Structure 1
């Protein structure tokens, strides 16, 4: 994974773990866990789209 594209793998892994954590929080009956996980997912997705836009503007994608 060259050209700095490894960041997308890291962000995708974090997003997947957060999605799984939503399921665990639901199973545990933790509303706080669900809310924190969903906020984390929104942040990680936002970072990913922002990074992709920056890399596209630089001609790296």
Structure 2
């Protein structure tokens, strides 16, 4: 548990929740919600990759 990178775990959980949201939005036939969840996945994953790059540059990974 010492090696857990909490910011990366947080982004992964948010991205997974957004992907679940896409499935729920599709089942509810809501184009607006599905589009919002897709945008959320793109933004969250981008932020996660950006954070990972900064952690690598700082020698934390």
TM-score w.r.t. the length of structure 1 is 0.92
Runs of at least 5 residues in structure 2 that lack an aligned partner in the other structure: none
**CA deviation vs aligned residue, 1:8-57 (integer Å, no higher than 9, x gap):** 11111111100000000000000000100000000000000000000100
Q: 2:40 maps to which residue? A: 40
Q: Which runs of 4+ in 1 moved over 3 A?
A: 1-4
Instruction: Measure, in 2, the Cα distance between the counterparts of 1:42 and 1:2.
Output: 29
Greater RCO, CA 8 A, separation 6+:
2
CA distance change for structure 1 residues 51 and 4 in 2, over 3 Å: closer, same or farther? farther
- Aligned pairs, how many? 61
Asked if 1:27 corresponds to 2:40, the answer is: no
Runs of at least 5 residues in structure 1 that lack an aligned partner in the other structure: none
Question: Over aligned residues, Cα RMSD in angstroms?
Answer: 1.5
> Displacement of 1:5 after TM fit?
1.4
TM-score w.r.t. the length of structure 2 is 0.92
